[in-house]
Amino acid sequence: MSARRSILGLSLIELMIALVLGSILILGLAQVFAASRASYALSDGLSRVQENGRFAVDYLQRDLRMVGHFGCANDQFRLQKPGFLNSHLAASGPLDFVRSIQGYEATGTGPTATVVLPTDAEIQSPGSWTGSPALPAFISGANPKPLPGSDVLVVRFLSGEGVPVTSINASGVSVDPTKWNVLTQSGITNPALFGVADCTYADVFQATTVSAGTITATHTALNTSAVDFASRYSASPAGQTMLYRAEAVAYYVAAGAGGGPSLWRLRFHSIPGGGLVSDSEELIEGIESLQLIYGRDQGAVTALTGNVGMQDTANVLGTSEAEWRRVGQIRIGLLARSPDRSAAAAAQVSPRVLGTTLTPPADARYRAVYETTVALRNRLYSTQ
């Protein structure tokens, strides 16, 4: 009898108890896995947003701090010395180096305004950007086009590193060919837009020819006039006259390759004696909005005080060169989002960027606001 009992199976009650206990364990494991996955998605989204946001701010800060750089004399030195800066390039358009900075305010995006951000589907088929001042053709015709509801910024300057000029004649300058690599950094392998400057004058021009460190400039291609180097510059003392690469770039938010919004840079350059070239570069994915506020000097452009006491958006400054010359500070506001969903569900949150309320789509992505203030150090008032 005992032998027969030893080979009997589980009773129905025992089997049901085992199934219940097993189900509880499996459900617990599933809950732990789901929580772990959600925590990882949130952590990954947060880290990606932090990385992209900081990189975007760093990129903008670096170029903004170069605004008005014309060699050893700062941008405002032009006020004390008429004729200091000569731009031999087109007086309007992307190569207007007399105007170091120009902003464009998107319609309905100023402080206290509320902006509804587009979904990814709407980003792929956006409407036309509207704002004040109206976008020039060299930006409105870019590919991809700026997204509505985000500001646009154009800056122009001479690169931070230059090469000493070794000899000068009426139509050109020469530098040490072994130092030419200083002018070919940041992806420009065959530069043609240059600035030559000392502590008294600066000229921006397109090279007609470049050969073994010798650059000539004649009245052709992008140049509206030839540069008379010999009448304004001297190669002595050594190192005083420098050659720089001229930079003209625009920043805006547009549709990225991944289907979402990205921060783009539109960069203008040329080859020697050639036409103007513009390259659209996707810098950072996940940047949904760029908002800008400009700090102006309290004094008129002819009587600057060095005190930034007025904060305005680009539509207030308009297209007046004098008003943009007064800008000595820029406040930058960015909204960055994670590339993917960061949680199974997320409450609808409307972040504020420089006073503008942004209402994002309910897509469960992690978002963060980044704001910073940049002093245009080459715009700080000085007579030297």
pLDDT tens for each residue of 31-71 = 777 766 666 666 667 788 889 999 999 999 999 999 989 98
Using alpha carbons, select from 365, 361, 381, 71 the residue that is nearest to residue 240: 71
**Tokens of residue 62, six digits:** 């670096």
pLDDT at 348 over 80: no
- Rounded to whole angstroms, the Cα distance separating 206 from 191 reads 9
Q: What is the average pLDDT across 178-189?
A: 90
Q: What is the average pLDDT across 123-146?
A: 93
- What range defines the domain where residue 109 resides? 52-379
Burial class (CB in 10 A: 0-12, 13-18, 19+), 85: buried
pTM: 0.87
What are the residues facing 180 on neighbouring strands?
none
pLDDT for 234: 86
| % of the chain with per-residue pLDDT over 90 | 60
pLDDT for 2: 54
Cβ contacts of 189 within 8 Å, gap of 6 or more: none
From residue 19, how far is each of 11, 13, 15, 30, 270 by CA, in Å?
12, 10, 6, 16, 74
Burial class (CB in 10 A: 0-12, 13-18, 19+), 257: exposed
pLDDT at 170 over 90: no
From residue 365, how far is each of 42, 58, 338, 339 by CA, in Å?
9, 23, 6, 7
Give the type of residue at 87: S
Q: What is the average pLDDT across 333-342?
A: 88
pLDDT at 382 over 60: no
Of the candidate ranges 42-56, 137-151, 257-271, 350-364, the one whose mean pLDDT is the lowest? 42-56
Please check whether residue 336 lies inside any domain of the structure.
yes
Please check whether residue 41 lies inside any domain of the structure.
no
pLDDT at 383 over 50: no
Residue pLDDT, tens place only, 71-112: 887 777 777 777 888 999 988 889 999 899 999 999 999 999
pLDDT at 209 over 80: yes
Backbone angles phi, psi at 166, to 5 degrees: -95, -30
| % of the chain with per-residue pLDDT over 70 | 92
Place of tokens 């772990």: 36
Are residues 127 and 148 in contact, defined by beta-carbon separation less than 8 angstroms?
yes
**Tokens of residue 53, six digits:** 């946001």
Q: What is the average pLDDT across 255-276?
A: 94
Are residues 162 and 194 in contact, defined by beta-carbon separation less than 8 angstroms?
no
More confident residue, 214 or 7: 214
Q: What is the average pLDDT across 253-261?
A: 93
Q: What is the average pLDDT across 163-173?
A: 92
pLDDT for 381: 60
Please check whether residue 31 lies inside any domain of the structure.
no
Number of domains the chain is built from: 1
Burial class (CB in 10 A: 0-12, 13-18, 19+), 112: exposed
Please check whether residue 16 lies inside any domain of the structure.
no
Please check whether residue 271 lies inside any domain of the structure.
yes
Are residues 344 and 292 in contact, defined by beta-carbon separation less than 8 angstroms?
no
pLDDT for 126: 86
Are residues 328 and 379 in contact, defined by beta-carbon separation less than 8 angstroms?
yes
Using alpha carbons, select from 245, 231, 286 the residue that is nearest to residue 55: 286
Mean pLDDT of the chain: 88
Of the candidate ranges 180-189, 281-290, 326-335, the one whose mean pLDDT is the lowest? 180-189
The DSSP result for 76-109, as a single string, is THHHHSTTSEEE-S-SSSTT-TTS-EEEEEETT-
